[in-house]
Amino acid sequence: MRKIEVDLIQAIKQGRTFRKGNTAFDGTFVSLHANRIAEFEGTRLVAINFCGWSTRTTRSRLSALFCDFNLDVEFSKYKQLVNICAKSGWIDIREIT
C-alpha cells in the first residue's frame, strides 16, 4: 500500500478531511482527480465508482480501501474490463460495514 493511501485511510478513520496530490477526502467522498471514486457514511464504505477511469492509480486507491476492511480483494484489468478478484472466495458485500 502506498503512503498516500495509508494517510487517506487514517484520515477516514479519524473523520477528518484529507488532500494530497491528486487524492482528496471531504468527509463523505474519496476523490481522485476530482472524480468521486468512493463514498463513505462515517467510516463505512458504501459505494465505489471507477468514473470511467480504470487506471492503475484508481484500482490501487480502491484496493487500499477494501484492504482496510480486511478483504483480500484485487482489481485487475483485462481487455479493457475491470475485474474484481476476491482471493479468499466470494465476498458478501452486505458484510462490508
Decide: helix, strand or coil at residue 96.
coil
State the pLDDT at residue 10: 94
pLDDT at 89 over 70: no
Q: What is the pLDDT of residue 39?
A: 92
Q: pLDDT tens digit string along 61-80?
A: 998 988 876 667 777 777 77
pTM: 0.79
Give the closest residue to 30 by CA, choosing from 74, 65, 77, 6.
65
Whole-Å CA distances, 15 to 7, 51, 54: 12, 24, 27
Q: Each residue of 50-63: pLDDT tens digit?
A: 888 888 899 899 98
Left if phi > 0, otherwise alpha if psi is -120 to 50, otherwise beta: which for 80?
left
